[in-house]
Structures are given as structure tokens and as C-alpha cells.
């Protein structure tokens, strides 16, 4: 490919290289969509490998590396990897750290598809016990010599139970096991699971971190030696994050602190209002004194409880439908963590495939609605 090098032309590229006289120090990180980067010869290729440079985007990409750096900083970690979804962050981590014969102890109130994936591990000779993670005696009772991982969410989806991360970490480490924490609901703005003893922290960047409802992405943060194991498998599985999504989420993270604190404030106001409403039978939000783990949450999260809550509406399916139809600002959406308040019905979405007896044990009823509180004016 050739270009005329005429004066006053608007040509950015000379040959296949960016002209340094035209492009320097952009305010916003450039977007690197290229599938591959050219090398001069075999020595240049080897040098690229040695310095973990850019050759093929499934292995390394500047936008993905940029958001990995951000998540490492935010989660106070040694290193991070970025995956193409929150679920791939979960699956890649578990597959990298487990082998046939291993045992996992997991919270029974996890996000429905996290539970579904954990159940599929039995096909590979990995056994999983689901427990009430808030009952440390119950957790301890199922740990055995083959237990390799304890798995929980900081605040569970959708029942809003709160895990005592320090206590569970101590329990895991006393049995030479890892503690993996999904910190999506609280984000690193409100809680640092690693500094409280967790070994791996996972975030669905699709949610609060990006915050604008236009990305699917996940992150895994941990010590460098753990991340190396996960990264090596990730490249083979092809679960690496997309460059454009990485660029968008980097933009979103710039306002994460502002958004999450506003969402937490709004959520507490909404939870307080709903708790005193005659049509609501129960509200699940750790910021309320009625919440069974309120004291733990107050100490663990320093008086900010996140933007997620659930409540039970009195009535039947027809009542719920009428309620959803009457909403003004808030609409039904099968996602969360965005700038706009959204609502969902766990029985019809996150726990659609969960057997009735399991939903009953968890406490998920047909009347339960989950709210992701946005950054709107509190009165709205």
C-alpha cells in the first residue's frame, strides 16, 4: 500500500506505521481493534513474546491490558485478567484452579447461572456442596480433605445475604483452600475482598463497573501466580475480553466511584420507603436494621450498602404484571448496575431454571422482585 506524501495532506499513516508527528499523547486511550500486530522478522517476534508485547489480540490487547491495570489497582491486587463476560470470569477461574476429585463449597443463594455452572462440574469429577454461607458451622461441616475452593458473592443475588469474608477466608485457609468472591454487587468502590482475605475476586464488568448497559465483560483479580494459571487457560478457551468492550468499560470505570455512591444512597432511601409501604411484605437490603446481617454489613462495608435490593410484593402474578405496567421511570431489564433504575423478577429470569424445592430453600418466591437502583434524583 502506498500513499502520496504531499504537503498539507490529511494522511495519518505512512506505509503501515502511525506517523509520530501526527499522533501523540491522546487524552482518551485509543481503540486498538487490530486482530494482529506486524513484526519485522523472527527476532522481532521472539522479542515480542519475551516482553509480552502485542502480536495476536486473543493473547494480548492494549485496551484489555488497560482495563486489567485499572481493575488491579481498584481491587488492590497483584494482577488481573479481563474476560468476555462475567460468567466466563467465573467458569475460567474455576476450571483453571480445579481438577478431577476436587471439592467446592458454595453459597446456596448465588446467582442462578453461577449455581448452574457449578453443578456442571460434576461431569468432570468435581463435587460441589451448596450451603448457607452465613452459617459458618454449616460451612465448616462440609469441608473435607479434597476441598479446594470456597465460593461466595459479597452480597448474594437476589436475596441480598451478606457473607463474612474475613471469617470465611480464615476457614478456607485453615483447610488449605482458596476463597473466591464475586464482588459484582459491591464493586471495589465499597469493598475490597482481597484485603479481607479472599484469594480471588471476580467482577461482572457488564454491571456497575461499566454502568451504561452497552458492554459484556468480566474481570478476575488475584496474586500474580494465580492469575498466570487462569490466563494460560483463558487464552486456550478464548474467553478474552473484546477490545471495544474493554475501551467502553474503561470509560465507564472513570465515573464508578461517583455512580456507586449515589446508587447506594438512592437504594437506602428506596428500601426505607418500601419497608414502610402497605403493599410490600418484606424488603431485602443490608442497609436496613431489619436485615439479618445488618451489623456485619455495617462493619464490613462502612455504612454504604450498594445499589441492589429486593422486595416481596403482596399479590399474585396479575398483581405483579399490573405493578410493572404502571411503573414510570423504572423498566424491566435482565441486567443491573446501570445508571437507570431497572427491575426484574428472579423466578422469571436469574432463577428461571432453578427447581421449585431449591427456590423454596433459598427463599425466592413468585412475589420477589429485584431492583437495581440508578443515579436518578432521589424523589424520582
Q: Which pLDDT does position 192 carry in this prediction? A: 98
The DSSP call for residue 124 is G
Please check the confidence at residue 254 and state whether its pLDDT lies above 90.
yes
SS3 call for 293: coil
How many CB atoms are located within 10 Å of the residue 170 CB?
A: 13
Q: Give the angle 236-80-111 at the CA atoms, nearest 5°.
A: 80
Choice among 58, 166, 251, 261 that is catalytic: 58
* Strands lying side by side in the sheet with 342-344: 280-284, 308-313, 368-372, 342-344, 331-332
Percent of the chain as helix, strand, coil, to the nearest 5 = 35, 20, 45
- List the grid coordinates of 84: 468476555
Q: Which pLDDT does position 37 carry in this prediction? A: 92
For the stretch 106-125, pLDDT in tens is 999 999 999 999 999 999 99
Choice among 64, 107, 108, 182 that is catalytic: 182
Is 148 one of the catalytic residues? no
- List the grid coordinates of 282: 418484606
For the stretch 143-186, pLDDT in tens is 999 999 999 999 999 999 999 999 999 999 999 999 999 999 99
Are the beta carbons of 164 and 296 closer than 8 angstroms?
yes
Is 54 one of the catalytic residues? no
Query: Is 199 exposed, middle or buried (CB count within 10 Å of its CB: 0-12, 13-18, 19+)?
Result: buried
Helix (H) or strand (E) holding 53: none
Q: Which pLDDT does position 6 carry in this prediction? A: 46
Distance CA 293, CA 96 (A): 32
Closest CA to 202 of 215, 217, 224, 213: 217
- List the grid coordinates of 186: 459491591
For the stretch 263-312, pLDDT in tens is 999 999 999 999 999 999 999 999 999 999 999 999 999 899 999 999 99
* In the chain, domain spans: 1-56, 57-253, 256-372
Range 57-253 classified under CATH 1.10.3720.10: no
Residue with cell 454502568: 211
CB-based contacts of 224, cutoff 8 Å, min separation 6: 78, 79
Is 58 one of the catalytic residues? yes
Choice among 64, 107, 111, 199 that is catalytic: 111
Distance CA 374, CA 234 (A): 33
Question: Measured in Å, how far apart are the chain's first and last C-alpha atoms?
Answer: 57
SS3 call for 33: coil
Q: Which fold has domain 256-372?
A: 3.90.1150
Are the beta carbons of 343 and 370 closer than 8 angstroms?
yes
Percent over 70 (pLDDT), the chain:
94
Phi and psi angles of residue 372, each rounded to the nearest 5 degrees, phi first: -100, 110
How many CB atoms are located within 10 Å of the residue 365 CB?
A: 14
Q: Which pLDDT does position 103 carry in this prediction? A: 98
Is 207 one of the catalytic residues? yes
For the stretch 25-58, pLDDT in tens is 888 889 999 999 999 999 999 999 999 899 999 9
Choice among 207, 259, 262, 370 that is catalytic: 207
Rg (CA), the chain: 23
Residue with cell 455512591: 261
Mean pLDDT of 211-219: 97
Amino acid at each position: 500500500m502506498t500513499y502520496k506524501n504531499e504537503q498539507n495532506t490529511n494522511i495519518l499513516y505512512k506505509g503501515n506505521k502511525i506517523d509520530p508527528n501526527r499522533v501523540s499523547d491522546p487524552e482518551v486511550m485509543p481503540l486498538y481493534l487490530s486482530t494482529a500486530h506486524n513484526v519485522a522478522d523472527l527476532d522481532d517476534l521472539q522479542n515480542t513474546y519475551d516482553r509480552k508485547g502485542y502480536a495476536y489480540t486473543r493473547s494480548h490487547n492494549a485496551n484489555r491490558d488497560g482495563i486489567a491495570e485499572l481493575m488491579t489497582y481498584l481491587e488492590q491486587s497483584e494482577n488481573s485478567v479481563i474476560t468476555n463476560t462475567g460468567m466466563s470470569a467465573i467458569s475460567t477461574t474455576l476450571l483453571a484452579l480445579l481438577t478431577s476429585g476436587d471439592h467446592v463449597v458454595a453459597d446456596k443463594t448465588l446467582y442462578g447461572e453461577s449455581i448452574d455452572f457449578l453443578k456442571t462440574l460434576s461431569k468432570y469429577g468435581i463435587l460441589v456442596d451448596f450451603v448457607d454461607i452465613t452459617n459458618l458451622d454449616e460451612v465448616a461441616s462440609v469441608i473435607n480433605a479434597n476441598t479446594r475452593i470456597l465460593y461466595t458473592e459479597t452480597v448474594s443475588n437476589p436475596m441480598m445475604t451478606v457473607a463474612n469474608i474475613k471469617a470465611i477466608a480464615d476457614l478456607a485457609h485453615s483447610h488449605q483452600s482458596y476463597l473466591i468472591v464475586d464482588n459484582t454487587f459491591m464493586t471495589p468502590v465499597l469493598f475490597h475482598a482481597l484485603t479481607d482475605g479472599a484469594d480471588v475476586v471476580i467482577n461482572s464488568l457488564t454491571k456497575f463497573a461499566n454502568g451504561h448497559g452497552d458492554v459484556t465483560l468480566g474481570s478476575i483479580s488475584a496474586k500474580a501466580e494465580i492469575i498466570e494459571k487462569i490466563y494460560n487457560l483463558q487464552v486456550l478457551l478464548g474467553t478474552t475480553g473484546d477490545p471495544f468492550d474493554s475501551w467502553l468499560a474503561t470509560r465507564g470505570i472513570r465515573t464508578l466511584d461517583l455512580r456507586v455512591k449515589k446508587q447506594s444512597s438512592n437504594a437506602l432511601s428506596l428500601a426505607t420507603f418500601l419497608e414502610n409501604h402497605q403493599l410490600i411484605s418484606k424488603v431485602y437490603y443490608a442497609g436496613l436494621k431489619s436485615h439479618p446481617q445488618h451489623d456485619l454489613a455495617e462493619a464490613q462495608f462502612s455504612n454504604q450498602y450498594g445499589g441492589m435490593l429486593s422486595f416481596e410484593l403482596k399479590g399474585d402474578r396479575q398483581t405483579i404484571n399490573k405493578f410493572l405496567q404502571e411503573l414510570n421511570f423504572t423498566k424491566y431489564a435482565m441486567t443491573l448496575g446501570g445508571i437507570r433504575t431497572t427491575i426484574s423478577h428472579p423466578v422469571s429470569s436469574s432463577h428461571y431454571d432453578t427447581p421449585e424445592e431449591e427456590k423454596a430453600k433459598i427463599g425466592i418466591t413468585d412475589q420477589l422482585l429485584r431492583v437495581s437502583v440508578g443515579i436518578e434524583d432521589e424523589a424520582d
